[in-house]
């Protein structure tokens, strides 16, 4: 019983930390913030995690595991069977980000580390947690898939693979935006609609057909 209660508390702390990291980033989240979110004292929280670094590392581990599952299609819906590899991975990533707060937190930590490097952490007199490379791994994988699709003639070569990859990352970033939810927009439905429009335009330059997430050919 005590062990189960401890495990539940552990998970509550992780969820609270994920919500804080996703909303405010690493530098602007404190142990006190996380503890207050679930009505816990800092001392009690330290009984489960020794530092904020440990919480950040836990998010990074979850992010790495989630990304591996997305790449492999583990436990995925049938989307991978009807879409090109770029579409399958991008939509799986977007869907997971829309529903997995810990992955959103890991993504935010990685994005903060890449976009601001040390500036955001230095401004708060802190350092970012180590191994914030999730976004780089996603970027490299999508870039390779885009290059393969261009070589096979599935999508246009009018734009560089790097530019298309940046578009995909911007698309994914919008999915995790709180603005969609606060506007009452279903992020998954929005993502699938926008995907058909943007990716369809790229494929049609080559005369190719575009499959919607439901498998229908557009």
Q: What's the CA angle centered on 46, arms 44 and 49, to 5 degrees?
A: 125
183 CB neighbour count, 10 Å cutoff: 9
Cα 127 to chain centroid, rounded: 21
Using the predicted structure, report yes or no on whether residue 165 has a pLDDT greater than 50: yes
pLDDT band at 181 (very low <50, low <70, confident <90, very high): low
Q: What domains sit in the chain, N to C, each tagged with a CATH number?
A: 2-204 (1.10.357.10)
| Segment 129-153 mean pLDDT | 85
Residue scoring higher pLDDT (15 or 125): 15
Residue scoring higher pLDDT (190 or 181): 190
Using the predicted structure, report yes or no on whether residue 35 has a pLDDT greater than 60: yes
| Segment 174-188 mean pLDDT | 69
The helix or strand, by DSSP H or E, that contains position 218, with its residue range, turns out to be none
Using the predicted structure, report yes or no on whether residue 18 has a pLDDT greater than 80: yes
Report pLDDT digits (tens) over 146-161.
999 999 888 888 899 9
193 CB neighbour count, 10 Å cutoff: 13
97 CB neighbour count, 10 Å cutoff: 24
Cα 212 to chain centroid, rounded: 22
How far apart CA 42 and CA 24 sit, in angstroms, is 19
Report pLDDT digits (tens) over 71-107.
988 654 544 444 688 888 988 998 899 889 999 999 9
Residues 6 or more apart whose CB falls under 8 angstroms from that of 9 comprise 40, 48
DSSP bridge pairs for 217: 211
């Amino acid at each position: 019983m005590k062990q189960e209660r401890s495990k539940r508390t552990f998970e509550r702390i992780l969820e609270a930390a994920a919500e804080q990291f996703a909303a405010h980033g690493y530098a602007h989240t404190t142990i006190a913030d996380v503890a207050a979110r679930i009505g816990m004292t800092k001392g009690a929280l330290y009984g489960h995690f020794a530092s904020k670094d440990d919480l950040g590392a836990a998010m990074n581990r979850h992010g790495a595991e989630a990304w591996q599952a997305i790449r492999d299609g583990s436990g995925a819906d049938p989307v991978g069977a009807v879409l090109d590899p770029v579409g399958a991975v991008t939509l799986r990533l977007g869907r997971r980000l829309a529903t997995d707060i810990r992955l959103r937190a890991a993504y935010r930590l990685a994005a903060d580390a890449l976009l601001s490097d040390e500036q955001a952490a230095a401004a708060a007199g802190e350092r970012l947690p180590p191994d914030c490379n999730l976004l780089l791994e996603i970027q490299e994988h999508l870039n390779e898939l885009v290059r393969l699709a261009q070589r096979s003639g599935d999508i246009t070569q009018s734009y560089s693979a790097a530019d298309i990859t940046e578009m995909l990352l911007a698309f994914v970033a919008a999915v995790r935006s709180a603005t969609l939810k606060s506007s009452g927009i279903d992020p998954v439905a929005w993502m699938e609609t926008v995907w058909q429009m943007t990716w369809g335009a790229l494929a049609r330059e080559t005369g190719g057909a575009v499959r919607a997430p439901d498998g229908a050919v557009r």
